[in-house]
Amino acid sequence: MTSETLATERRALVTGATAGIGEAFARRLAADGWQLVLVARDATRLAEVAADLTARHGHRVETLPADLSTDDGCAAVERRLTDATAPIELLVNNAGLSLNRPFLRSTVADETRLLRLNVHAVMRLTLAALGPMTDRRNGIVINVSSVAGFGPVMPGSTYPASKAWVTSFSESVDLSVRPLGVRVMALCPGYTATGYHERNGIDMSGTPGWMWLRADDVVDGALRDLRKGKQISVPDWKYKLAVAGLRHAPRRLLRIAYRDRRGRVGPTDG
């Protein structure tokens, strides 16, 4: 299934669509001819992105302001995903967050919000989308995960655990729906320049420039891996190597590598 074939289906819903990887997906899909439904918390910024894409490409862009860490926000997007009058052929679950503090200094409220957005919302929206998709025997879900989900690369942070769930969940569900003509793929980028870290006060000054990916390149890699039929997409060769190491290195070596970072929280990919 090629990106050109995908484009003929015409309608995609993207969460977290006002910045970073979500906005890059919106730009790319609009350029490829898709009608878009964009979801984010910030209604003003959402309207600005939609107006820009409409002006550039002439396609109608719906906006749906929603906080996906809440039941009401998820329910609003679920209703749109199950609207048979304007079916969604591609869902990009991009919205997510990390906490700029280790678990021992966190709160139940903050950790619950992280899980509700990174895990609970992904589960709910994927389930809502897959019902109509499997009925039509056509559709794709891309769940944005992270290289961080393959190992304890951020000591003290619960973000990698949430992304490990997203990757495993996506791979498992894909096995069940692929015979029905539907795809689910986990997109696992590494450090991506999205503005997320600056907005959340995360100091990235010690991260070498060569480790950073461009959001547009991440999207290109995701669509390329989708064409190849992959269940898990890890854009860029250096992060493919990192994932291989995290998957196969003895946990004892990982503990040694990270023991001097005990209690610190690393960055997210945004």
Q: What is the DSSP string of 88-138?
A: -SEEEE------SS-GGG--HHHHHHHHIIIIIHHHHHHHHHHHHHHHHT-
CA distances from 167 to 118, 174, 176, 191, 201 (A): 11, 11, 15, 17, 27
Where do we find the tokens 């919106």? Answer: 26
Pair 85, 37: CB distance under 8 Å: no
How far apart are alpha carbons 49 and 51 in whole angstroms?
6
How far apart are alpha carbons 192 and 215 in whole angstroms?
6
Two tokens, residue 149: 């989900």
CA distances from 166 to 8, 42, 122, 150, 195 (A): 28, 24, 8, 11, 22
How far apart are alpha carbons 159 and 157 in whole angstroms?
5
Catalytically active residues are: 159
Pair 59, 72: CB distance under 8 Å: no
Maximum C-alpha span of the chain: 55
